[in-house]
């Protein structure tokens, strides 16, 4: 599902990634761990096409993403990549249902189809009684579950999660990870997680450890 080949990235004189090559199979849950500054989030942002490497390639679902035009990269990102961040980034003025619908509407899906699918995903996240609540009316764990539902709305090839439980207590962290395991089992969804939580990382299929811009 994912292959990176010799990714390098620098900001000025600071070398963040130093030739990173990884492979992730369809339906695999891979955690990336390491100290702050090891390059984990930079790697995730490049895989997600939010940033460009200085050199190297990223192939997602057999597409060489950085060979595409900027417009095509944006379309690919919306259609093929789901994102979950430590801070949910939900739009405060919209309900849970509307937040989940948003990427589908951007993808020119009809309102009725987007609404039906968003409702189904929120039900899967055990939030069927929270559809019309705004983020301020939801707990931290509920907000993160809405964010996961939003990441799934366009049937992405891969979901990238940057510290998805970093802002949650241990109980809610376990709930979120159990849902990730369930999504993999039911949908064969592929996940790459950046996490500082070693207990959660141990439940992944594989853990990649980064240090000084390289996988070790």
- Mean pLDDT across the stretch 184-212? 85
Per-residue confidence at 88, pLDDT binned at 50, 70, 90? Answer: low
Q: Give CA torsion, residues 58, 64, 68, 74, to 10 deg.
A: -60
Number of helices (H), then strands (E), in the chain: 7, 10
Range of the domain at 50: 2-215
Half-sphere exposure of 180 (CA within 13 A, CB side): 32
Nearby residues of 77 by Cβ (< 8 Å), 6 or more positions away: 48, 49, 50
CB 189, CB 121: distance < 8 Å: no
Residue 137's pLDDT is what? 92
**Using one digit for the tens of pLDDT, what is the confidence trace for 57-71?**
999 988 999 999 999
CATH for 81: 3.40.50.300
**Using one digit for the tens of pLDDT, what is the confidence trace for 134-171?**
989 998 888 888 988 888 898 888 989 888 776 667 77
**Using one digit for the tens of pLDDT, what is the confidence trace for 90-102?**
888 999 999 999 9
- Mean pLDDT across the stretch 108-132? 90
Residue 86's pLDDT is what? 65
Half-sphere exposure of 160 (CA within 13 A, CB side): 20
Counting the structural domains of the chain, the total is: 1
Q: Between residues 43 and 179, which one has the greater pLDDT?
A: 43
Give the residue from 140, 94, 136 showing the smallest Cα distance to 118: 94
**The pLDDT of residue 110 is above 90:** yes
- Tell me phi and psi for residue 134, to 5 degrees: -85, 160
pTM for the whole thing? 0.83
């Amino acid at each position: 599902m994912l292959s990176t080949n010799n990714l390098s990235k620098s900001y000025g004189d600071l070398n963040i990634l130093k030739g990173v090559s990884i492979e992730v199979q369809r339906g695999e849950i891979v955690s990336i761990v390491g100290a702050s500054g090891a390059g984990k989030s930079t790697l995730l942002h490049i895989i997600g096409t939010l940033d460009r490497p200085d050199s190297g390639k990223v192939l997602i679902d057999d597409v060489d993403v950085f060979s595409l035009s900027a417009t095509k990269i944006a379309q690919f990102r919306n259609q093929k990549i789901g994102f979950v961040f430590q801070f949910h980034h939900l739009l405060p003025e919209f309900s849970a249902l509307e937040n989940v619908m948003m990427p589908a509407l951007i993808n020119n899906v009809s309102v009725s189809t987007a609404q039906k699918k968003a409702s189904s995903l929120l039900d899967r996240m055990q939030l069927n009684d929270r559809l019309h609540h705004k983020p301020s009316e939801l707990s931290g764990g509920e907000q993160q579950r809405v964010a996961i539902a939003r990441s799934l709305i366009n049937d992405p090839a891969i979901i990238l999660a940057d510290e998805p439980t970093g802002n949650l207590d241990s109980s809610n962290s376990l709930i979120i990870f159990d849902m990730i395991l369930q999504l993999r089992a039911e949908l064969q969804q592929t996940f790459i997680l950046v996490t500082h939580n070693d207990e959660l990382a141990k439940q992944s299929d594989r853990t990649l450890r980064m240090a000084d811009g390289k996988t070790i």
